[in-house]
Structure 1
Amino acid sequence: MKNGAGENLADVRIPLVKVPAHPVRLELPGPEKDALKDRIRTMLRQQNAVLVAHYYTDGDLQDLAEETGGCVADSLEMARFGTEHPAQILVVAGVRFMGETSKILNNEKRVLMPDLAATCSLDEGCPIGLFSDFCDRHPDHTVVVYANTSAEVKARSHWVVTSGIALPVVKHLAEKGEKILWGPDRHLGRYVQQLTGVEMILWPGSCVVHEEFKADALIQLRKLHPQAAVLVHPESPQEVVDQADVVGSTTALIQAVQRLPNKEFIVATDAGIFNKMRQLAPDKILLGAPIAGEGATCESCARCPWMEMNTLEKLAIALEAGAGEIEVAPELAAKARIPIQRMLDFAKTLKK
């Protein structure tokens, strides 16, 4: 069905995602935090483990990952880093689909997470049963899913994409005459559809963080900071994307802060990204895009509550007790690896 914005949305009633309250964080005193970090460093070294963290996690986790030879990256690069690193244990600070993707690409390694309850509204809003049934009703469509999905949904797809490679993949498929069923983020799907001109059936999911950015409030903030460049992740609503100077993946937005001459930036994505932006461009002024205004619920407050479940304390417990291990059945991992590998191989052709 077409909605008022011209989106070809799937006529599916997706489950209501229960968004957890933001966890109460008690900042450890400096000496205690330093001692905890030292303990984690020792355990990583002793267990032949490496820490990989997403840009949206707490700055302490990001810094610790880099200080110990790990990486801070988007979900796919986190998994790809694990395939190239000799460590036998991958500790993934992020949300569950990221741990699963790491396990899919590194099935012979152990993958631990600080908190297995850390999930994602896009993943939760696209359960395999509903999604598979919908795909079955459109057998002539190529199924393209965003990385923010479960291992089961990935296994049901033909292609897995990140926000950075979605555009060229969809263009490639359209040139071959393929019809596309897209899931699960409708805003990213709409953005790809608009830029490629390709009509797609869009699964009606969305991210609780990016859904909260308010267009009217952004207009007012831009008036107060007329020289600021507006950076927007394409998971954001249309009215917010329309105001952007740069629309792109987490990596693209970080690069924009480094590349553009502007002194100020208004950033419409999870505020956890500010840690890396400040590290690479310490002279720039970063402003969070507003989540307040008409219609705001502040369920997300520009921070993913599931990402916030990752803490230094939980990371230490995972290493001490071997808790939070991600398991993906080998048969399922093999199926899910096919569409991911298809994307990785396509990315190599783009580089050439």
Structure 2
Amino acid sequence: MNQIISSETSTALSADTARVREYLDRAVRPAVLDEETQKTYKANIKQLMQQKNARLVAHYYTDGVLQDLAEESGGFVGDSLEMARFGRDCDAEILIVAGVKFMGESAKILSPDKTVLMPTLEATCSLDIACPADEFSAFCDQHPERAVVVYANTSAAVKARADWVVTSSIALDVVEHLMDEGKKVIWAPDKHLGSYIQKTTGADMLLWNAACIVHEEFKARGLADMRKLYPDAAILAHPESPSAVLEIADVVGSTTQIINAAKQSTKSEIIVATDQGIFHRLQQVAPDKKFIIAPTAGNDATCRSCAQCPWMGMNSLESLYGSLKETSNEIHVDSALAAQAMIPLQRMLNFAENNQLKVRGKA
């Protein structure tokens, strides 16, 4: 059984689209800074971090300048759960999270006693926007017999309603575990990732109807045409992409899995279907290879992201400096809500440890 659900009416789906569009309209990319200005900001930020005992954690999809700064200053670059776990385990008093808002919330849930800042609080995620906690909770209440599994790309309130929180690389194992226990599943929010899990495992799943605006725009027909141009290239795709894209891919995996696959591949040319921000790390781990972004709707069509998350792009040196200097853009999560959200998060971490799995994914 594999049902696509959401608010179940075209009116509600249109409302979800309108909500995403409203946030997109506010997602303005910062101006590109010249090299000298970048150096000045980086030096000032490093000085402030030392003074305030702060660490920077950055997602793979953020600007390469921020990724470099995180590593140069003793911080971390990775996926959202890896970022949050690094923050929990480091001795900093302040964590600066370069990413999108749910990542800041995850960091705060795992590090409630630390101050968690973000360069901007406007950086959000289409998956988060399209899964309002009240609507999702009401749907879950209608299916109390099902285990609720949510992707890390969700708000603290949605996590608090879940039985499990998962990343893309551990999701298959968790769903198979639930199948072994005879349980049916509610999955949220990404319908493409949910469909991939359902097809792979055969699980009985109800899927929330949301999608990542970056991955949803990758086109199977364009990818097939690109393969003709690069017949010897490997194709690596994130499972948030449409199923027709995944069927063409040689490897389907999380950001970390894509990076590892690129590093290990014997191919000199690699087509990648995920956010272009990952190219910074790909070029570091495999400098001798040519990386090509998979086709989206194209420059002359209606693509909203063109393989670049507009909200990840809002993170900048300038906004990071301002946030750290003023101790602004702080993430707050209600303590009771955080405690409830920590239960499914900890369940995932325990499961991964017990099964010797790596808790890594796009999230």
Q: Shorter-chain TM-score category? A: over 0.9
The alignment's TM-score, normalised by the length of structure 1, stands at 0.96
| 2: CA distance, partners of 1:254 / 1:35 | 31
Deviations 1:190-214 (A, max 9, x none): 0001111112000011000001001
SS for the counterpart of 2:351 is helix
Partner of 1:137: 142
Equivalent of 1:65, from 39, 62, 70?
70
Deviation at 1:11, TM superposition (A): 4.9
SS for the counterpart of 1:182 is strand
Counterparts of 1:179-198 in structure 2, within 5 Å, are: 179-198=184-203
Equivalent of 1:164, from 164, 169, 175?
169
Stretches of structure 1 that go unaligned for 5 or more consecutive residues are: none
- Asked if the contact 2:30/2:316 (under 8 Å) is kept, the reply is no
Aligned: 1:331 with 2:329: no
User: Percent sequence identity over matched residues?
Assistant: 55
Counterparts of 1:1-352 in structure 2, within 5 Å, are: 7-12=2-7, 13-14=12-13, 15-16=16-17, 17-18=20-21, 19-20=23-24, 23-292=28-297, 296-351=301-356
| 2: CA distance, partners of 1:42 / 1:244 | 44
The alignment's TM-score, normalised by the length of structure 2, stands at 0.93
Stretches of structure 2 that go unaligned for 5 or more consecutive residues are: 358-363
Partner of 2:361: none
CA 1:55–1:72 in 2, change beyond 3 Å: closer, same or farther?
A: same
| 2: CA distance, partners of 1:130 / 1:298 | 28
2:251 maps to a residue whose letter is V
| 2: CA distance, partners of 1:119 / 1:165 | 23
- Asked if the contact 2:133/2:157 (under 8 Å) is kept, the reply is yes
SS for the counterpart of 1:235 is coil
- Asked if the contact 2:188/2:194 (under 8 Å) is kept, the reply is yes
- Asked if the contact 1:216/1:293 (under 8 Å) is kept, the reply is no
SS for the counterpart of 1:287 is strand
| 2: CA distance, partners of 1:41 / 1:301 | 32
1:9 maps to a residue whose letter is I
SS for the counterpart of 1:351 is coil
Q: Count how many residue pairs are aligned between Structure 1 and Structure 2.
A: 347
| 2: CA distance, partners of 1:24 / 1:9 | 33
1:331 maps to a residue whose letter is A
Deviation at 1:288, TM superposition (A): 0.1
Deviation at 1:248, TM superposition (A): 0.4
| 1: CA distance, partners of 2:295 / 2:52 | 43
- Asked if the contact 1:100/1:150 (under 8 Å) is kept, the reply is yes
